Chains A and B, each alone.
Chain A
Amino acid sequence: MADQLAKKCTFASITKQKKSKIMATIDELKEIASQVRRDIIRMVHGAASGHPGGSLSAADYLVALYFESMQHTPEPFDMDGINQDIFILSNGHISPAYYSVLARSGYFPVSELATFRQLHTRLQGHPATMEKLPGIRIASGSLGQGLSVAIGVSRAKKINGDNKLVYCLMGDGELDEGQPWEAMAYCGGNKVNNIIAAVDYNHKQIDGDTDDVMPLLDLKAKIEAFGWDVLECNGNDMEAVVSTLQIAKEHTGKEKPVMILLHTQMGMGVDFMMGTHKWHGAAPSDEQAEKALAQLKETLGDY
C-alpha cells in the first residue's frame, strides 16, 4: 500500500542513500512502536482512564518523527527549540502515545509514565506546560488549535533565520472545528513552507464513524483546495510513514505547505480495540489489559 500511495505523489523520489538509511532503522522503529503501544495500554490501565484508541493509531507516526525524522535535543529541553525541529500536538487526548514517545526518546525518565493522570503528576490527562514536563511546548486538549500554534512557531523560525521544520499532528475528528481550516487557509494563502502537518485519519471519533458524526467528505480535495499539497500513506506501516515523511521534507521550502493524510486504524495493534470507536476514551479492565499486552512485544523493557 505504501508503494502504491507513494506512486500517487508527484514529488521527487527519495535517494538511494536515504532509502538504505531508512531500511536499516525500520525494524528498530517497529520495535520502539511496539513498546510505545505497551506503554499506552499500561498507562491507560494504570490510570483507569485515558484515550487508548487514537494513541494506538498515531503511535507509528510519533515514533517515526521522534526516532527518525526530527532533529531534536531532548536534554536539556529548550522551550524555544532554536535550531531544532519542533512538534506540536493538536489532538492532546493521545497524550499516552505522546508521553511514551517523549520518555522513550529521553525527555524525561521512563518511570514517570507510571504517574500518568495521578494527582500532582507532570503527565496531566492532556498535555500541559504548567508542570514543566520536558518536551511539551503548548497545552492541547481543547481541539482544533494545534496547527495555529505550529504556524506561530514556524513564523518565529523564519524571523530567527532558523531553517528547521515544524511538525503538527491533528486528529480527523477535530477537523469538525473551524479553527484548523482558518489555519489551513493561512498556510495556503501565505505559502507557509516550513510546516509538515499530518492528520491521523482513523475515521473514528467519540460518537462513532466520522462519516456518521460529521462527514469529512473528500478530505484530500478539501485540503488541496486550501492551497496545500497532500500526501497519503498507510500511517500504521512504518516504512510507508518514514518514506512519506522523507518525501514531505523534500517538499518543504517550496511554494506550498504539505499535509500528510495518515490512513490509520483506531486501536491499531490490539485486535479487540480495532474497528470500533468504543476505545476512543475507555480504559481496559485488568483482564483486557492482559489480553492486549499479550499482543504487544516488550522490546525496550516496561517502565
Chain B
Amino acid sequence: MKYKVLNYKDTRSGFGEGLFELGQENEKVVALCADLIGSLKMNAFAETFPDRFFQVGIAEANMIGMAAGLTIGGKIPFTGTFANFSTSRVYDQIRQAVAYSGKNVKICASHAGITLGEDGATHQVLEDIAMMKALPGMTVINPCDFNQTKQATKAIADYEGPVYLRFGRPKVATFIPYDMPFEIGKAIVLKEGTDVTLIATGHLVWEALNAADMLEEKGINAEVVNIHTIKPLDEEAVLKSVKKTGCVVTAEEHNVLGGLGESISGLLARTVPVPMEMVAVNDAFGQSGKPDELMELYGLKDKNIVEAAQKVIVRK
C-alpha cells in the first residue's frame, strides 16, 4: 500500500479534536491545562464543558496532583501542557501520585521534541520517553500524525491506567487513514519488505515511509513498522519483522539514550541479536531554528534513515 498525504495538520489538533469528542461521549472525562489552552487545542473542550475543565495556571505540579485526586471520585483526567512541563517538570509528582498510586491519569504532552522549533532547547524535551517508560505501569504512546493522535486520544480514555501521550507542534503530513484500526500496544506494519526493518515513532514515521521509497529506488526492499506504543512494546510484531529482514533501523525524535531505539535494542539483545542502527538525537540538547532546519541539523530526515539502512544491511 502506498501512503499519500491527505493534508497537513498538527498532531496537537488531533488531540484537541479527540478530546472534544470524548467530552461529548464520556462524561467521566475531565481536562486540566496549565495556561496553554490554545497551544494544546483544548479550547473546544474548555468552552463546551466548563464544569469538567480546570485552568490551573502555570502550576504543573499542582495540576498533576489534582489530576490524581480527580480519579478518586471516578473521573478520567487528561492533563495538557508542553511535553517538557508534562514530564521533567513534574516527574516526582507523576511518579508518586500517578504511577505508584496507579491512578487513571492521561498525561497529554504537546510540543515534544525539536520540532517545537524557535523556542529552543529549554522547551524541546528529548528525554521524555526515557523518563516516562522507566516508570512501572506507565503506558507511553507517540502517535505519528493527526489521525493517529486523535485515535490514540480516544483510545486511552477506554484504557484503565496511567498513560503518557506525546505529540507535536508543527503541521506535518497526515497519511494514516482515519479508519485504520488503532490498538494500544499493537504495532502497525505500514509497508511490507524483506531487506531491512525501519521501526519509527511519532514524526519520524512519515520520514521512514519516504525513506522506504528512496531505498526502493536503490533496489532495497524496506519494511516499515509504526510503533505508536513504545510501552508496552509490541515485541511479537518487532520480532516477526526482524526475523524476516535480519536488520533494523529505528527512528525517533528523541535522545538516542532511553528512547524507542533502546527499547528495541534491549529486546533484540535478549532474543534475536541482529545488526541495528538508531536514527535519533545523539545525546544533545536542541536549539532555536525552524522545525525542518532542526530535523536536518540533528539528522532526523528520511535521507538519514536511508543512510542508516544502507549501513546496517552491510553488517548483516
Which residues of A line the B interface, CB within 8 A? 79-82, 86, 88, 128-130, 137-142, 144-157, 159-160, 162, 178-179, 182-183, 185-186, 189
Question: Would A186 and B62 count as touching, CB distance under 8 A?
Answer: yes
CB neighbours of A150 from chain B (8 A): 69
Q: A80-B73, A146-B65 are in contact. List 11 more A-B contacts (CB 8 A).
A: A80-B72, A81-B72, A88-B69, A144-B61, A145-B65, A145-B93, A148-B65, A148-B93, A151-B66, A178-B61, A185-B57
Of listed B56, B65, B74, B103, residue having the most chain A CB within 10 A: B65
Of listed A140, A148, A150, residue having the most chain B CB within 10 A: A148
Of listed A79, A139, A162, residue having the most chain B CB within 10 A: A139
Q: In the complex the two chains form, what is the Cα distance from A79 to B74 in whole Å?
A: 9
Q: Encode B236-252 as 1/0 by CB contact (under 8 A) with A.
A: 00000000000000000
Report B103 CB to chain A, min CB distance, Å. Answer: 8
Minimal Cβ-Cβ distance residue in A for B52: A159
Q: In the complex the two chains form, what is the Cα distance from A175 to B57 in whole Å?
A: 20
Question: Would B97 and A139 count as touching, CB distance under 8 A?
Answer: yes
Q: In the complex the two chains form, what is the Cα distance from A159 to B53 in whole Å?
A: 11
Of listed B61, B67, B73, B96, residue having the most chain A CB within 10 A: B73
CB neighbours of A159 from chain B (8 A): 30, 51-52, 73, 75
> How many residue-residue contacts, CB under 8 A, span A and B?
116
Q: In the complex the two chains form, what is the Cα distance from A189 to B35 in whole Å?
A: 15
Q: Which of A86, A88, A179 contacts B93 (CB 8 A)?
A: A179
Q: Which of A82, A129, A152 contacts B69 (CB 8 A)?
A: A152
Q: Determine if B232 is an interface residue (Cβ-Cβ < 8 Å).
A: no
Question: Would A145 and B97 count as touching, CB distance under 8 A?
Answer: yes
Question: Would B70 and A153 count as touching, CB distance under 8 A?
Answer: yes
Question: Would B74 and A155 count as touching, CB distance under 8 A?
Answer: no
CB neighbours of A146 from chain B (8 A): 65
Report A91 CB to chain B, min CB distance, Å. Answer: 13
Question: Would B73 and A153 count as touching, CB distance under 8 A?
Answer: yes
Question: Would B66 and A149 count as touching, CB distance under 8 A?
Answer: yes
Q: In the complex the two chains form, what is the Cα distance from A147 to B61 in whole Å?
A: 11
The secondary structure that dominates the B interface is: helix
CB within 8 Å for A179 and B65 given contacts A81-B72, A186-B59 = yes
Question: Would B102 and A129 count as touching, CB distance under 8 A?
Answer: yes
Q: Which of B57, B64, B70 contacts A156 (CB 8 A)?
A: B70
CB neighbours of A88 from chain B (8 A): 69
Report A72 CB to chain B, min CB distance, Å. Answer: 13
Q: Encode B39-82 as 1/0 by CB contact (under 8 A) with A.
A: 00000000000011010110101111111111111110100000
CB neighbours of B65 from chain A (8 A): 145-149, 151-152, 179, 183
CB within 8 Å for A186 and B56 given contacts A138-B101, A149-B68, A152-B67 = yes
CB within 8 Å for A86 and B72 given contacts A148-B62, A148-B64, A178-B61 = yes
Q: Encode B75-100 as 1/0 by CB contact (under 8 A) with A.
A: 10100000000000000110111001
Minimal Cβ-Cβ distance residue in A for B27: A159
CB neighbours of A142 from chain B (8 A): 92, 95-96
- 23 interchain pairs (CB within 8 A)? A80-B72, A82-B74, A128-B100, A129-B101, A139-B97, A145-B61, A146-B65, A147-B65, A148-B61, A148-B65, A149-B68, A152-B65, A152-B66, A152-B67, A152-B69, A152-B71, A153-B69, A156-B69, A178-B61, A185-B57, A186-B62, A186-B66, A189-B57
Q: In the complex the two chains form, what is the Cα distance from A134 to B30 in whole Å?
A: 26
Report A113 CB to chain B, min CB distance, Å. Answer: 22
Minimal Cβ-Cβ distance residue in A for B100: A139
CB neighbours of B74 from chain A (8 A): 80, 82, 156, 160
CB neighbours of B63 from chain A (8 A): 148
